[in-house]
């Protein structure tokens, strides 16, 4: 699905959407660099600090699972078996995790391989969980959050699509609106975490 058909989602002037693409590799790379910085700063405490993700996994566990997801890629070129860990983070240290995240970021910043918005969305959600646990910020723009929210509202589980049909999701900080019906207002982060089942609606 080419989400550029549904944009603009930001407050940029009309006609300033020429750079919008269905390839989200660069935004993913930029996001991974921020996550890597957070993990690196926390050091080996990532093994003990727990997140609010389902099951309360540690930061280390969420970061490792994220690396597995990125390495697997689309089903037709998956390199990593489900549940296995990348070899470059076998010692589970914060420094090695950060190094591995930066390695994947460097690859994506080149624009390759092509990256779907779904992977960007899952990475963003995990990044926010890590950032909240480590009390570090993750900064992304409205074009990214709007595309992630839109894709999830269109292709998420039935209950997510049902909410988007019945409500208008309004990002109070990023200036986008998705859906129909009574407004559900929140930050872009709160809305996306809700769409991914990580938080309840206010």
Residue 67 · residue 86 · CB < 8 Å? yes
Q: What is the pLDDT along the chain (202 residues), one digit of tens a residue?
A: 344 444 444 444 443 433 446 899 999 999 999 999 999 999 999 999 999 999 999 999 999 999 999 998 654 444 444 445 565 555 567 899 999 999 999 999 999 999 999 999 999 999 999 999 999 999 999 999 999 999 999 999 999 899 888 999 999 999 999 988 999 999 999 999 999 999 886 6
pLDDT tens per residue, range 69-126: 999 865 444 444 444 556 555 556 789 999 999 999 999 999 999 999 999 999 999 9
d(CA 131, CA 39): 9
User: Could you tell me the residue ranges of all domains in the chain?
Assistant: 25-134, 141-195
Preceding omega of 149 cis (within 30 degrees of 0): no
CA-based nearest residue to 125, from 149, 155, 105: 149
């Amino acid at each position: 699905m080419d989400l550029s058909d549904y944009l603009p989602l930001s407050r940029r002037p009309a006609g300033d959407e020429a750079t919008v693409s269905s390839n989200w590799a660069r935004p993913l790379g930029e996001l991974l660099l921020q996550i890597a910085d957070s993990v690196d700063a926390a050091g080996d405490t990532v093994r003990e600090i727990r997140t609010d993700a389902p099951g309360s996994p540690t930061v280390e566990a969420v970061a490792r699972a994220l690396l597995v997801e990125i390495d697997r890629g689309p089903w037709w070129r998956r390199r990593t078996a489900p549940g296995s860990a990348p070899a470059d983070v076998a010692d589970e240290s914060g420094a090695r995790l950060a190094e591995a995240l930066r390695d994947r970021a460097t690859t994506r910043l080149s624009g390759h391989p092509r990256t779907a918005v779904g992977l960007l969305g899952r990475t963003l959600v995990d990044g926010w969980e890590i950032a909240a646990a480590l009390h570090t910020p993750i900064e992304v723009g409205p074009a990214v959050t709007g595309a992630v929210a839109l894709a999830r509202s269109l292709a998420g589980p039935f209950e997510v699509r049902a909410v988007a049909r019945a409500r208008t999701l309004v990002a109070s900080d990023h200036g986008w609106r998705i859906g129909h019906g009574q407004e559900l207002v929140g930050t872009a982060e709160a809305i996306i975490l809700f769409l991914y089942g990580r938080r309840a609606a206010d």
